[in-house]
């Protein structure tokens, strides 16, 4: 149990060192210094980049400032994915720190959602939680919660309060022993090279025979290519929170401990670096 | 969570979890820890540079673009800078002063802190002492608690025992009540039987009388007892003449008995006529008993008193078992004839009235009781004494009774009124008394025999004795007084002379058994009889003063009383262990 709690803490306090640089095309009064920040993996870009914005606004004329957006090596970064997912998906095998380019104009409406205020992030976050609970408990737990309980979840994430968040999130992770797990595991599988944003299907944590499903079982069904055939070189890495769990890890446990605060297990499948 | 726990139980299953933990730690080391400080320092640096830039931009703003007036401007600037230096210096001085003040304040604080520490140390010391005391008290309390617990346990046991005892007491009381009820039922049935028998006797007697009156003229007197009285009296006087002649003919005696029998039919227990008819006793020569005719277990407990009736054919015994038993003496044996009950304690003394129809007894229950011979229920109960009554005697007249008690009083009672008419206070326990015509003689524990005038209620004489007086007896002619004392000596005093010359009777082996041992004078006044503590009856000859006879071996315990029949034929002795022995010379 002590281990489990430590895992939860490590997941929550995971950080990515990031270097924000201003896009060359932006018109500035003087040269902008890069801004370095440790980004929380479980949070959202627009929620933690107030300082970045402030920093760059110093060197810009107010009339040149549009909505801020981020881009990494030509890829616009979707703020509504958790930061850890963005990093694992696009930059997991690059040299740290992660260099993100900051834009204030030419907002890519086709790729990104607008994020005018934190309430949008909150709405997105809460809807994710509700979706996850619909999968796990037919929404029973989340519907039994009061408004202030929902608020507590959001405030926990916003203010980076681990205990405050988990005091409430614990309830969302409960399940009856006779079921042996959640109804369905809320998961999303991301790939770099795909048209689809992610894979999300119904998948039970326990097989009809009563065996607990593992990560391997999930991948076999959702993404067989991720599992190396015998004697073959490993082609893909399965990354969750910047690590590669063993394939025999039980899926239920993963869902309980390695899910993001939005209660989804975000799994990134990236090609093994060739070198 | 539970699943994971279960899986965690198996060593192999732990591998994936350990793997995850290790990987997370690696990740944090690479991505977080390495950059943490770097980024912090960078941010600080960035802030500083931007600050510096701000200041720089401020100062550069003053820099004039125009070079011409640069020197004056520089000078001006120099001045300004000096001024600011001065101001800053002043500020420094001020600051230093403030520092001094703060330091002194700090010193003060330190001093106070030290002081407080001292006090704290003292307080700690006190606290420690108190703690020690608390510990001590706790230990004591524990000991007390232990003691208290044991006491409590004891108390519980005692209470249980008490409850058991109470239960047993209740059971005993119930048993006793049950027994009492049975006794009452028995008594009732006995009474009923007796009254029925009496009624039967009465009817047969009446019919007999009727037959008598119808058949023979001379016996017609019996139908009218009142008219017969005169004749009776004349007869009585007549017989008295004979008595003085000491006639022993049984025929003569039986004629007297017949007279008595007839009289008994009258049924008037206490009347003037009876007083007139009172027999003074039949003086015949007493015969010294030689052997035991009968030994019987007369009572259920020790026997205290025994008395022959005046007609010698009836014997009464009374004892600790609270009843008086009447025995018929016929042909040398005792036959139980009846029981008189009603006393609630043991009987101490028995007396027949001169007619032989009534029985008077003194009792431990502080009263004296009077029965009619044929009625087991007491006719009168004389209460008033505050301790046991030791003696009860008829005085000269038939309606007066004298009682002596352990409460140091002698009371005179009127039977007509059933009330105490006179109270004589003595300084000592009265153990026995006898009545002569007009005087009462009482024996006391203070070794005195007191003679009282019954009419004046005053002590007329005190005679010394050698020990506690246990009993008194007066001879039939009222001339000799016998006293028995605890010094194992019988004394005989001549009442006529009231002199100090007295005869002492002793014997080897004779020992007065108790404080109430009764000795008697034979009806002819020639012998004395007393029972000893060793169970033997001793008989002395008055004229010689020597021991006449010694009758041992029949009693196994101390003899409490003896009685000599008026006919002189029999002696009965009773002892403390419920045995009675009938002695005679035959």
Is the Cβ of B1 closer than 8 Å to some Cβ of chain A?
A: yes
Give a yes or no: residue B90 inside a domain: no
Q: Within this chain, do residues A88 and A204 fall inside the same structural domain, yes or no?
A: no
pLDDT above 70: residue B471? yes
User: Is the Cβ pair B32, A33 closer than 8 Å?
Assistant: no
What pLDDT score was predicted for residue B263? Answer: 46
User: From the CB of residue A12, how many other CB atoms can be counted at a distance below 10 Å?
Assistant: 21
Please tell me the pTM assigned to this model: 0.41
Chain B residues within 8 A of A38 when measuring between CB atoms: 32, 35-36, 39
User: Is the Cβ pair B26, A248 closer than 8 Å?
Assistant: no
Task: Read off the CATH number of the domain in which A263 is found.
Answer: 3.10.20.90
pLDDT band, residue A82 (cuts 50/70/90)? very high
DSSP-assigned letter for residue B218: G
How close B58 comes to chain A (CA, Å)? 16
Q: Which of A6, A212, A243 shows the shortest C-beta gap to B27?
A: A243
Q: Is A79 helix (H, G, I), strand (E, B) or coil?
A: coil
What pLDDT score was predicted for residue B4? Answer: 42
User: Is the Cβ pair B24, A14 closer than 8 Å?
Assistant: yes
User: Is the Cβ pair B35, A4 closer than 8 Å?
Assistant: no
Give a yes or no: residue A9 inside a domain: no
Chain A residues within 8 A of B34 when measuring between CB atoms: 17, 96
Chain A residues within 8 A of B17 when measuring between CB atoms: 3, 7, 249, 253
What pLDDT score was predicted for residue B228? Answer: 44
User: Is the Cβ pair A4, B28 closer than 8 Å?
Assistant: no
Chain A residues within 8 A of B5 when measuring between CB atoms: 1
Chain A residues within 8 A of B12 when measuring between CB atoms: none
Give a yes or no: residue A97 inside a domain: yes
What pLDDT score was predicted for residue B59? Answer: 56
What pLDDT score was predicted for residue B331? Answer: 79
HEC letters along B278-289: CCCCCCCCCCCC
pLDDT above 90: residue A232? no
What is the interface size between A and B, counted as CB pairs within 8 Å?
101
Give a yes or no: residue A1 inside a domain: no
What pLDDT score was predicted for residue B162? Answer: 96
* Mean pLDDT computed over A46-57: 87
pLDDT above 70: residue B110? yes
* Whole-number average pLDDT of chain B: 80
Instruction: Return the structure tokens found at A222.
Output: 């959702």
Q: Within this chain, do residues A237 and A127 fall inside the same structural domain, yes or no?
A: yes
Report the residue of chain A nearest B25, measured CA to CA: A10
Q: Within this chain, do residues A172 and A229 fall inside the same structural domain, yes or no?
A: yes
The H or E element containing residue B214 is helix B70-215
Q: Within this chain, do residues A18 and A130 fall inside the same structural domain, yes or no?
A: no
User: From the CB of residue B401, how many other CB atoms can be counted at a distance below 10 Å?
Assistant: 26
For tokens 């920040």, the residue is: A37
* Mean pLDDT computed over A167-193: 86
pLDDT band, residue A34 (cuts 50/70/90)? confident
Q: Within this chain, do residues A87 and A135 fall inside the same structural domain, yes or no?
A: no
pLDDT above 70: residue B278? no
Residues B345, B390 contacting (CB under 8 angstroms) = no
Q: Within this chain, do residues A149 and A52 fall inside the same structural domain, yes or no?
A: no
What pLDDT score was predicted for residue B157? Answer: 96
Q: Within this chain, do residues A99 and A124 fall inside the same structural domain, yes or no?
A: no
Q: Please say which residue of A45, A73, A103 terminates a domain.
A: A103
User: Is the Cβ pair B16, A246 closer than 8 Å?
Assistant: yes
User: From the CB of residue B454, how many other CB atoms can be counted at a distance below 10 Å?
Assistant: 20
pLDDT above 90: residue B546? no
Instruction: Return the structure tokens found at B490.
Output: 């019988």
What is the CB-side half-sphere exposure of residue B295 using CA atoms within 13 A? 11
Give a yes or no: residue A125 inside a domain: yes
User: Is the Cβ pair A3, B19 closer than 8 Å?
Assistant: no
Give a yes or no: residue A98 inside a domain: yes
Residues B277, B264 contacting (CB under 8 angstroms) = no
Query: What is the distance between the alpha carbons of residues B549 and A224, in angstroms, rounded to a whole number?
Result: 146
User: Is the Cβ pair A10, B4 closer than 8 Å?
Assistant: no
Q: Which one of A131-145, B132-146, B471-485, B570-584 scores highest in mean pLDDT?
A: B132-146
Report the residue of chain B nearest A52, measured CA to CA: B43
What pLDDT score was predicted for residue B98? Answer: 94
How close B30 comes to chain A (CA, Å)? 9
Q: Within this chain, do residues A267 and A145 fall inside the same structural domain, yes or no?
A: yes
User: Is the Cβ pair B32, A242 closer than 8 Å?
Assistant: no
- Partner residues linked to B392 by β-bridges: B403
User: From the CB of residue B417, how many other CB atoms can be counted at a distance below 10 Å?
Assistant: 9
Q: A-side interface with B, Cβ within 8 Å? A: 1, 3-4, 6-7, 10-11, 13-17, 33, 35-38, 55, 58, 96-97, 173-174, 177, 180-181, 212, 241-246, 248-250, 252-253, 256-258
Lowest pLDDT segment from A122-136, B160-174, B370-384: B370-384
Q: Which of B2, B23, B35 shows the shortest C-beta gap to A97?
A: B35
Mutate which: A6, A18, A38, vs B, most B CBs within 10 A: A38
Task: Read off the CATH number of the domain in which B335 is found.
Answer: 2.130.10.10
Q: CA A147 from chain center: how many Å?
A: 24
User: Pick from B37, B39, B24, B376: which is nearest to B190 by CA?
Assistant: B376
User: Pick from A76, A60, A14: which is nearest to A266 by CA?
Assistant: A14
Task: Read off the CATH number of the domain in which A50 is found.
Answer: 3.10.20.620
Report the residue of chain A nearest B2, measured CA to CA: A177
Report the residue of chain B nearest A177, measured CA to CA: B2
Query: Could you tell me which residues come within 8 angstroms of residue A252 by beta carbon, excluding any fewer than 6 positions away?
Result: A180, A181, A182, A185, A205, A206, A212, A213, B3, B4
What pLDDT score was predicted for residue B238? Answer: 45
Q: Does B445 or A193 have the greater pLDDT score?
A: B445
Q: Within this chain, do residues A157 and A248 fall inside the same structural domain, yes or no?
A: yes
DSSP string, B49-60: HHHHHHHHHHHH
* Pairing mode of beta strands A98-103, A15-22: parallel
Q: Classify residue B234 as exposed, middle or buried by CB count within 10 Å of its CB (0-12, 13-18, 19+).
A: exposed
Query: What is the distance between the alpha carbons of residues B551 and B538, in angstroms, rounded to a whole number?
Result: 6
User: Is the Cβ pair B1, A96 closer than 8 Å?
Assistant: no
Give a yes or no: residue B527 inside a domain: yes
Give a yes or no: residue B526 inside a domain: yes
CA distances from A129 to A152, A186, A232, B11 (A): 13, 10, 39, 34
Q: Please say which residue of A103, A127, A149 terminates a domain.
A: A103
The pLDDT tens digits for B11-48 are 555 788 888 888 888 888 888 888 888 888 888 888 88
Instruction: Return the structure tokens found at B101.
Output: 């003040």
Instruction: Return the structure tokens found at B309.
Output: 């009736």
Q: Within this chain, do residues A138 and A98 fall inside the same structural domain, yes or no?
A: no
Q: Is A19 helix (H, G, I), strand (E, B) or coil?
A: strand
Instruction: Please give the ipTM for the structure prediction.
Output: 0.85
Q: Is B300 helix (H, G, I), strand (E, B) or coil?
A: coil
pLDDT above 90: residue B579? no
Give a yes or no: residue B205 inside a domain: no
Range of the structural domain that residue A33 is part of: 14-103
Q: Does B579 or B227 have the greater pLDDT score?
A: B579
DSSP string, A244-258: ---TTSBHHHHHHHS
* Whole-number average pLDDT of chain A: 87
pLDDT above 90: residue A222? no
Query: What is the distance between the alpha carbons of residues B122 and B125, in angstroms, rounded to a whole number?
Result: 5
Range B511-523 burial, b when 16+ CB lie within 10 A, else e: bbbbebbbbbbbb
| Percent of chain B topping pLDDT 90 | 19
Number of separate domains in chain B: 1
Q: Within this chain, do residues A143 and A57 fall inside the same structural domain, yes or no?
A: no
Chain B residues within 8 A of A55 when measuring between CB atoms: 46
Q: Which one of A259-273, B194-208, B251-265 scores highest in mean pLDDT?
A: A259-273
pLDDT band, residue A124 (cuts 50/70/90)? very high
Is the Cβ of B44 closer than 8 Å to some Cβ of chain A?
A: no
Instruction: Return the structure tokens found at B174.
Output: 């119930």
pLDDT above 80: residue B316? yes
Chain B residues within 8 A of A37 when measuring between CB atoms: 39
Number of separate domains in chain A: 2
Give a yes or no: residue A70 inside a domain: yes
Instruction: Return the structure tokens found at B442.
Output: 């009482």
Give a yes or no: residue B316 inside a domain: yes
Give a yes or no: residue B560 inside a domain: yes
pLDDT band, residue B487 (cuts 50/70/90)? confident
Residues A66, A25 contacting (CB under 8 angstroms) = no
The pLDDT tens digits for A241-272 are 989 898 888 888 889 899 999 999 999 998 88
How close B67 comes to chain A (CA, Å)? 26
* Mean pLDDT computed over B539-553: 85
HEC letters along A89-147: HHHCCCCCCEEEEEECCCCCCCCCCCCCCHHHHHHHHHHHHHHHHHHHHCCHHHHHCCH
What pLDDT score was predicted for residue B275? Answer: 44
User: Is the Cβ pair B3, A181 closer than 8 Å?
Assistant: yes
pLDDT band, residue B215 (cuts 50/70/90)? low
Q: CA B581 from chain center: how many Å?
A: 36
Range of the structural domain that residue B359 is part of: 291-584
Q: Which of A3, A38, A181 shows the shortest C-beta gap to B35?
A: A38
* Mean pLDDT computed over A170-179: 84
Q: Does B5 or B461 have the greater pLDDT score?
A: B461
Is the Cβ of B33 closer than 8 Å to some Cβ of chain A?
A: no
pLDDT above 80: residue B333? yes
Q: Which one of A38-47, B420-429, B543-552 scores highest in mean pLDDT?
A: A38-47
How close A110 comes to chain B (CA, Å)? 32
What pLDDT score was predicted for residue B222? Answer: 43
What pLDDT score was predicted for residue B256? Answer: 56
Q: Please say which residue of A44, A74, A103 terminates a domain.
A: A103
Give a yes or no: residue A93 inside a domain: yes
Q: Is B198 helix (H, G, I), strand (E, B) or coil?
A: helix
Query: What is the distance between the alpha carbons of residues B349 and B487, in angstroms, rounded to a whole number?
Result: 22
Is the Cβ of B97 closer than 8 Å to some Cβ of chain A?
A: no
pLDDT above 70: residue B243? no
User: Is the Cβ pair A10, B21 closer than 8 Å?
Assistant: yes
* Mean pLDDT computed over B296-314: 85
Give a yes or no: residue B127 inside a domain: no
The H or E element containing residue B530 is strand B527-531
| Vertex B283: Cα angle to B280 and B287 (nearest 5) | 140
* Mean pLDDT computed over B465-470: 85
Q: Within this chain, do residues A167 and A219 fall inside the same structural domain, yes or no?
A: yes
Give a yes or no: residue B459 inside a domain: yes
Q: Does B273 or A173 have the greater pLDDT score?
A: A173
């Amino acid at each position: 149990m002590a281990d489990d709690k430590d895992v939860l803490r490590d997941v929550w306090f995971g950080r990515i060192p990031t270097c924000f640089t201003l896009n060359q095309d932006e018109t500035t009064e003087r040269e902008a210094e890069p801004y370095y920040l440790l980004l929380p993996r479980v949070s959202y870009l627009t929620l933690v980049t107030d300082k970045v914005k402030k920093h760059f606004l110093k060197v810009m004329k107010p009339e040149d400032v549009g909505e801020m957006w981020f881009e990494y090596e030509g890829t616009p970064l979707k703020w509504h994915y958790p930061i850890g997912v963005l990093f694992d998906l696009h930059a997991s095998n690059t040299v740290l720190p992660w260099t993100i380019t900051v834009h204030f104009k030419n907002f890519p409406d086709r790729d990104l959602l607008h994020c005018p205020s934190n309430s949008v992030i909150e709405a997105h976050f809460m809807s994710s939680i509700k979706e996850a609970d619909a999968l796990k408990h037919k929404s029973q737990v989340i519907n039994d919660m009061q408004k202030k309980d929902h608020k507590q979840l959001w405030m926990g994430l916003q203010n980076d309060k681990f205990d405050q968040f988990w005091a409430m999130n614990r309830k969302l992770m409960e399940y009856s022993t006779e079921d042996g797990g959640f109804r369905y595991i809320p998961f999303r599988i991301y790939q770099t090279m795909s048209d689809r944003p992610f894979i999300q299907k119904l998948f039970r944590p326990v097989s009809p025979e009563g065996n607990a499903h593992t990560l391997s079982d999930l991948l076999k069904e959702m993404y067989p290519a991720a599992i190396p055939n015998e004697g073959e070189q490993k082609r893909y890495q399965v990354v969750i929170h910047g690590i590669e769990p063993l394939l025999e890890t039980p899926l239920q446990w993963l869902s309980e401990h390695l899910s993001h605060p939005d209660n989804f297990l975000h799994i990134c499948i990236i090609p093994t670096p060739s070198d | 969570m539970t699943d994971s726990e279960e899986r965690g139980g198996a060593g192999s299953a732990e591998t994936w979890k350990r793997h995850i933990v290790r990987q997370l730690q690696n990740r944090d080391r690479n991505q977080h820890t390495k950059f943490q400080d770097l980024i912090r320092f960078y941010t600080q640096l960035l802030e500083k540079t931007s600050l510096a830039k701000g200041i720089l931009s401020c100062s550069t703003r003053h820099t004039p673009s125009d070079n011409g007036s640069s020197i004056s401007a520089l000078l001006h600037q120099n001045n300004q800078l000096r001024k600011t230096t001065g101001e800053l210096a002043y500020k420094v001085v001020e600051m230093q002063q403030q520092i001094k003040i703060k330091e002194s304040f700090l010193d003060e604080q330190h001093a106070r802190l030290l002081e407080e520490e001292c006090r704290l140390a003292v307080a700690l010391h006190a606290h420690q002492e108190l703690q020690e005391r608390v510990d001590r008290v706790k230990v004591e309390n524990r000991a007390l608690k232990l003691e208290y617990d044991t006491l409590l346990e004891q108390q519980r046991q005692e209470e249980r025992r008490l409850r058991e005892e109470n239960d047993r007491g209740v059971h005993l009381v119930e048993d006793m009540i049950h027994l009492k009820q049975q006794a009452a039922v028995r008594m009732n049935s006995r009474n009923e039987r007796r009254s029925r028998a009496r009624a039967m006797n009465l009817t047969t007697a009446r019919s007999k009388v009727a037959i008598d009156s119808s058949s023979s003229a001379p016996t017609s007197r019996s139908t009218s007892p009142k008219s017969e009285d005169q004749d009776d009296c004349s007869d009585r006087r007549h017989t008295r003449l004979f008595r003085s002649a000491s006639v022993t003919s049984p025929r003569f005696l039986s004629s007297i008995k017949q007279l008595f029998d007839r009289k008994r039919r009258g049924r008037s227990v206490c009347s003037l006529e009876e007083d007139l008819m009172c027999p003074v006793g039949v003086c015949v020569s007493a015969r010294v008993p030689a052997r035991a005719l009968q030994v019987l277990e007369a009572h259920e407990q020790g026997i205290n008193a025994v008395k022959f009736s005046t007609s010698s054919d009836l014997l009464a015994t009374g004892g600790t078992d609270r009843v008086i038993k009447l025995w018929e003496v016929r042909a040398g044996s005792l036959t139980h004839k009846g029981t008189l009950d009603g006393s609630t304690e043991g009987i101490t003394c028995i007396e027949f009235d001169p007619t032989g129809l009534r029985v008077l007894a003194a009792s431990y229950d502080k009263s004296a009781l009077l029965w009619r011979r044929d009625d087991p229920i007491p006719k009168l109960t004389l209460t008033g004494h505050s301790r046991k009554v030791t003696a009860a005697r008829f005085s000269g007249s038939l309606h007066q009774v004298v009682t002596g008690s352990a409460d140091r009083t002698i009371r005179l009672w009127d039977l007509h009124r059933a009330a105490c008419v006179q109270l004589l206070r003595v300084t000592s326990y009265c153990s026995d008394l006898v009545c002569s015509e007009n005087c009462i003689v009482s024996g006391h524990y203070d070794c005195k025999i007191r003679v009282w005038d019954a009419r004046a209620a005053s002590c007329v004489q005190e005679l010394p004795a050698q020990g506690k007086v246990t009993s008194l007896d007066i001879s039939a002619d009222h001339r000799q007084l016998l006293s028995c004392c605890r010094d194992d000596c019988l004394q005989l005093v001549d009442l006529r002379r009231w002199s100090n010359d007295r005869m002492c009777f002793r014997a080897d082996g004779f020992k007065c058994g108790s404080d109430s041992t009764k000795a008697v004078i034979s009806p002819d006044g020639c012998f004395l009889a007393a029972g000893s503590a060793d169970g033997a009856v001793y008989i002395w000859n008055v004229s010689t003063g020597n021991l006449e006879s010694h009758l041992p071996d029949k009693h196994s315990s101390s003899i409490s009383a003896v009685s000599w029949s008026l006919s002189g034929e029999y002696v009965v002795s009773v002892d403390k262990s419920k045995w009675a022995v009938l002695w005679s010379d035959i």
